[in-house]
Amino acid sequence: MSEPDIQTTLERMLQSSIDLCQTLLKHNETFYPFASVAIDGDIQCIFNSEHEHREYQIIEQLEQEIWERTHQVQQSLSVLVYSGLMVDDRGHKRDVIVCDVTTQEGEQQQIYYPINFACSNPQIGTPFTSD
């Protein structure tokens, strides 16, 4: 994949992930972590294995699954999605969706999407990154 293809694929993966989160949050104020990988341009979803029952290790299990699917391929991109809580400098807490993006080269970035639960229909805000 060329650089524009990678960016387009990443944008599709992020938008699809956020759309899924929006749907899940309409029914519940939380969701289980999930991931997506693009392998040589083919986007695949990864959800927690049903035979694994240790909820506290879901993220680690997804990271392992991402590695197993991507470590021997030419081009890959992954997005691991989970909910989090951020605290700003003034101590204000904010619910966020965290998207851990990793390229085949090992470059990593975290993108945060704020969640507003103030109304009956949770809204996902404009993404930001943290320095």
Where are the chain's structural domains? 3-129
Distance (Å, whole) CA 116 – CA 110? 19
Distance (Å, whole) CA 66 – CA 60? 10
Distance (Å, whole) CA 112 – CA 86? 9
72 DSSP 8-state letter: T
State how far the alpha carbon of 121 is from the alpha carbons of 21, 48, 54, 81, 118, in Å: 12, 26, 30, 20, 8
Using 50, 70 and 90 to split pLDDT, how confident is the model at 122? confident
Using 50, 70 and 90 to split pLDDT, how confident is the model at 89? confident
55 DSSP 8-state letter: G
Contact (Cβ atoms closer than 8 angstroms) between residue 58 and residue 70: no
Residues in Cβ contact with 93 at an 8 Å cutoff, skipping those fewer than 6 apart: 85, 86, 87
State how far the alpha carbon of 31 is from the alpha carbons of 23, 38, 69, 97, in Å: 10, 22, 23, 10
123, two tokens: 């809204």
**pLDDT above 60 for 55:** no
The mean pLDDT value for 98-108 works out to 91
pLDDT of residue 69: 92
Note the pLDDT tens digit of each residue in 41-52. Answer: 899 999 976 555
